[in-house]
A and B are shown apart, each in its own frame.
Chain A
Amino acid sequence: MKLKTMNKKGADKILTIYWFVILTLIAGGIFAMVYVFYSTPYDVRGIEGEIFAERIADCISRQGIIDQSFFLGKDFDKSMTGEKFTKKCNLNFNVEEGYGDISQIQYFYRVEFYTLKDLTKANYSIYDGNINWESDCAIKKDSKDYTRLAQCTEERLYALNQGGEQYLIRILSVVGKSAKNVKS
């Protein structure tokens, strides 16, 4: 009779240990799921690129007319460089670590002006930022490491100059920041 009682107690202990193991398994599983999901950052570079391009477009064309600072008489003012345009538009690229280090800049933009006479070759072009990012735009979306590359956004618009000449404008905005937007 005594022996039977002891066996029962042992079975209860084993069952208790089993329940603790199961509880730990479930808790560990839930922790793993939450950790995996929330440790992955949201990739907002697509939206950031669009906002960046819109900001540039806003600086180039107002009420359908291209800003006069781009022109010197009838022609484009060649002294209007990317750096000058960046300053004029109050764009600030030094937002990441390595402030002031050009190679650490996470942004790039290129603005190209086309005339209706030749839509294949840009009449005038300006750019600023980290030019190393531009090459990432040539890589196709279905490539394996696409998400780790800089995100490119292209916007096109139509505007006129003060003299009524028609121009087509292509804006390419590139956002790097893969370290903050993609899980390594």
Chain B
Amino acid sequence: MENLQKMLNHNKKESMKLVPYNFFPKNRKGQIGETITWIVATLVLIAILIIFIFASVALSKVKTLKTDIKANAADSADWINAKTQVAYSISSVNKNKIQLWISQEGGIE
């Protein structure tokens, strides 16, 4: 009887001991891991969307139609240069001087 009393007292003491609260009980760890995965996935998705939006903004800024007629003179007609060539066939005196002056075009003052 005395022994039983001792045992009960011991158990009472043991149960009175402060046990730290388990914030992450074992059965919830899986759920938390899964939630973090979803949050990270959402953030990655938002980041990718932002990158794509910035890329489309950058691409929209370079929407300029450009044709370098002189560079493609072999397959398309550079009418102005053709006019000069026709004029050379009439008179090609001072051709170098004329050619030098023409090559300076684009330096708009």
A→B interface (CB under 8 Å): 18, 22, 25-26, 29, 32-34, 36-37, 39-44, 46-47, 50, 53-54, 57-58, 61, 63-65, 114, 116, 119, 137-138, 152, 154-160, 164, 166, 168, 170, 172, 183
Contacts and interface: CB of A to CB of B under 8 A. Distances in A.
B87 A158 contact: yes
B30 interface: no
B74 interface: no
Contacts of B53: 29, 32-33, 36
Contacts of B98: 116, 158, 166, 168
B94 interface: yes
A40 B90 contact: no
Given A158-B87, A168-B98, A172-B108, A26 B93 contact: no
Interface range for B: 35 or more
B97 A47 contact: no
B41 to A, nearest CB: 9
Contact of A37 (B42, B60, B101, B109): B60
SS class of chain A's interface: helix, strand, loop or mixed?
mixed
A154 B106 contact: yes
B105 A155 contact: yes
A41 B65 CA distance: 10
A42 B90 contact: no
B73 interface: no
Given A64-B84, A157-B84, 14 more contacts: A25-B45, A36-B60, A37-B59, A37-B60, A40-B60, A41-B63, A43-B63, A44-B65, A47-B65, A64-B90, A119-B101, A156-B105, A166-B98, A168-B102
B3 interface: no
Contacts of B94: 116, 166
Interface string B67-109: 1010000000001110110111111011001100110111111
B12 interface: no
Contacts of B106: 154
A64 B101 CA distance: 17
A25 B46 contact: yes
B31 to A, nearest CB: 9
A53 B80 contact: yes
